[in-house]
Amino acid sequence: MSHKDKEAHEVNKLSKRLHRQVGEAIGDFNMIEAGDKVMVCLSGGKDSYALLDILINLRQRAPIDFELVAVNLDQKQPGFPEEVLPTYLKSIGVPFHIEEQDTYSIVKKLIPEGKTTCSLCSRLRRGILYRVAGELGCTKIALGHHRDDIVTTLMLNMFHGGKMKGMPPKLVSDDGKNVVIRPLAYVAESDLIRWAEHRQFPIIPCNLCGSQENLQRAAIKAMLQEWERKTPGRIDNMFRAMGNIVPSHMMDKALYPFTTIKATGAAFEGGDIAFDEDEGCGPTPEPVRVIRLSPEAV
Ligand code: SF4
């Protein structure tokens, strides 16, 4: 196989994987239904370009009918190349709306120099996007967060917030009026980087506001990438764990009635084992007889 053929083969595989993963995420979480009007939030970064690109392709072959509208919020950051997105969106023939709101000046006015501006900036952006979704009659708001963002958020919340809390693939917005979806939830960031290169998206730099990337998030991303390099598949395993939670083996009393469980005396065939095998304290113990919990307690 020539180098060119090999490259074409790899791109074809990547394209199939991306479309399959997005299709699966949409199906698994019932993200898009017949008659939906989906507002795709486009920042000019690789992830949101890929999201729009893949949704356009999936829409063409979807068994249901839904609409797409791309929305960009021009936050009036210095040097923002205003023409890039409209030119691209016209060239691919997708309906779009550019919302101009000078959140940059508000943030600069309210946040002292040297302090991080991202939390106020994203709060303002969120509010504007919710309003625009209502004005455009959109039923869903699609964001370009991917698998690695989701795992990074889980780690951030564990390390700094003492919470097992990630980033959901689908949620109802704070104001209760919008359903937010993340169709790239199953997609690895490395695939999005390769897809953006292949599709030659006109990427707009993301540091125009002059704010530093959130240092804690950057540190966790670097840590995850290092783990992945040493143990390929680790990010995927962590991601799958988020959809495979065993409340009886965690410690959240709101999710499992630890205080009221009682032994019934009957063994629970084929069920969970009372003592986990991989405790790292020597050889695996002999199988133990498991005491079944009373059904009403479970
Ligand atoms: S990096 Fe800049 S534009 Fe992005 S959220 Fe932070 S302040 Fe806002």
Convert the pLDDT of each residue in 10-45 to its tens digit. 999 999 999 999 999 999 999 999 999 999 999 999
Instruction: Kindly report which listed range (126-130, 158-162, 212-216) carries the lowest average pLDDT score.
Output: 212-216
256 touches 272 (CB < 8 A): no
| Residue-averaged pLDDT of the chain | 89
The yes-or-no verdict on residue 292 having pLDDT over 50 is no
Q: What angle do CA 270, 275, 277 make, to 5 degrees?
A: 85
For ligand 1, atom 6, name the residue with the nearest CA. Answer: 118
Confidence (pLDDT) at 297 = 37
Question: Which of the two residues, 291 and 94, has the higher pLDDT score?
Answer: 94
Q: Which residues line ligand 1 (CB under 6 A)?
A: 117-118, 121-122, 209, 211
Confidence of residue 213 (pLDDT cuts 50, 70, 90): low
Residue of 113, 117, 208, 216 to test ligand 1 pocket, by largest number of atoms within 8 Å of CB:
117
CA separation for the pair 80, 225 (Å, rounded): 30
Nearest to 184 by CA among 211, 208, 151: 151
Using the mean position of ligand 1's atoms as its centre, give its distance from the Cα of residue 206 in Å.
8
Domain boundaries along the sequence of the chain: 3-241, 246-298
Show the beta-strand stretches assigned E in the chain. Answer: 37-41, 67-74, 96-100, 140-142, 170-172, 179-181, 263-267, 291-293
Average pLDDT of the segment spanning 122-136:
95
Residue ranges of alpha helices (H) inside 38-102 are: 46-61, 84-92
Q: Domain 3-241, CATH 3.40.630.40 — does that match?
A: no
The yes-or-no verdict on residue 282 having pLDDT over 50 is no
Instruction: Kindly report which listed range (79-83, 225-229, 294-298) carries the lowest average pLDDT score.
Output: 294-298
pTM: 0.88
Q: Kindly give the pairing relationship between strand 291-293 and strand 263-267.
A: antiparallel
Query: 3-state class of 229 per DSSP?
Result: helix
For 287, phi then psi, to 5°, come to -55, 140
CA separation for the pair 206, 204 (Å, rounded): 6
Instruction: Kindly report which listed range (43-57, 69-83, 173-187, 210-224) carries the lowest average pLDDT score.
Output: 210-224
